[in-house]
Amino acid sequence: MPELPEVEVTKLGIAEVLVNSVIKSFVIRTNNLREPISNDFYTLKDLLVSTVERRAKYIIIRTNKGAILIHLGMSGHLSIIRDNTSINKHDHIDMILNSNVIIRFNDQRRFGLFLWYPLGENVYNSKWLINLGYEPFDELLTPLVMYQLFLKHKKCIKSVLLENKVVVGVGNIYASEVLFLSKISPLLDSNKITLQQCDTLLSNIRKVLRCAINNGGTTIRDFSDTNGNHGHYVDQLLVYGKNQQQCPRCACILQKTVICGRATYFCLNCQK
DNA sequence: CTGAGCTCCTGGGAGC
DNA sequence: TGCTCCCAGGAGCTCA
């Protein structure tokens, strides 16, 4: 579910209450997310939060005793609880702050991660973060750099976008959208892309992600921000989920195919 | 090394 | 109403 914009919206939401606050303790209701929950969380107390960061689709909460690494998986969600809201199904973890505000982690499909890295273990060197590509808004990522990285792969361009090895944060929905905007077929071999196409693609990735962040993320089934508000970007999707509907650019019929086991929407006529 | 396919898990919706 | 099947936005792992 959550792609980079949703994670960014979530990060901004929790940072407001977490930075310079103290996490008094944790309540763990589930032991098995994608990885087991560390026993440390049962005994960790009084963590002073210094920063909340985002790298790709991961959220890193830095404290005076170590870092918490969170991934929302396909259905994960963090919400800020300010009253005695009852516990719902799939509410797996609570971070209880000194102010008694609770940051609650809910994840229906349990593909999410909630990991502890004590001081001395660099979370950025973990297997989750070490091989990631460029952040989309990193100035070092130029069309030329992107072009050179794409040349190294033989797979289709959409697979490479989803891999997070060239540029991170583009998930299945936005991959269809940015390729449509760039008039690039999702089936194009990565190493056949031109520099000009990379230029267009990169600027569209930035435009779409920025726009989605400003709209509070995309709600298709169940995303909402930390206050329970749904994102509005879904209203702006051009091709995702629009199989057999008219292409908004050329009025041909949009196609659905499966790439890497994921639904992919595109226009045969105007994406080459 | 590379790419394709599998896998973790739950639940909604379609079809019968 | 209830059953079965298919599908879903991530991403690491295994195998050929």
What percentage of chain A has pLDDT greater than the value 90? 67
| pLDDT tens track for A172-227 | 988 999 999 999 999 999 999 999 999 999 999 999 888 888 877 664 444 555 65
Q: Give A99's strand partners.
A: none
Q: Residue A153 CA to nucleotide B2 C1', Å? A: 9
Q: What local confidence, expressed as pLDDT, does residue A229 receive?
A: 56
Distance CA A52, CA A153 (A): 33
Q: What local confidence, expressed as pLDDT, does residue A221 receive?
A: 44
Cβ-based contacts (< 7 Å) between A 108-167 and strand B: 108-111, 152-155, 159
Residue A230 reports pLDDT greater than 70: no
Residue A231 reports pLDDT greater than 80: no
Q: Number of C-alpha atoms within 13 angstroms, CB side, residue A36?
A: 4
Whether the CB of A220 is less than 7 Å away from nucleic strand C comes out as yes
The mean per-residue pLDDT over the stretch A68-76 comes to: 92
Q: What local confidence, expressed as pLDDT, does residue A176 receive?
A: 92
Q: A65 Cβ partners below 8 Å, 6+ apart?
A: A44, A47, A118, A119
Whether the CB of A171 is less than 7 Å away from nucleic strand C comes out as yes
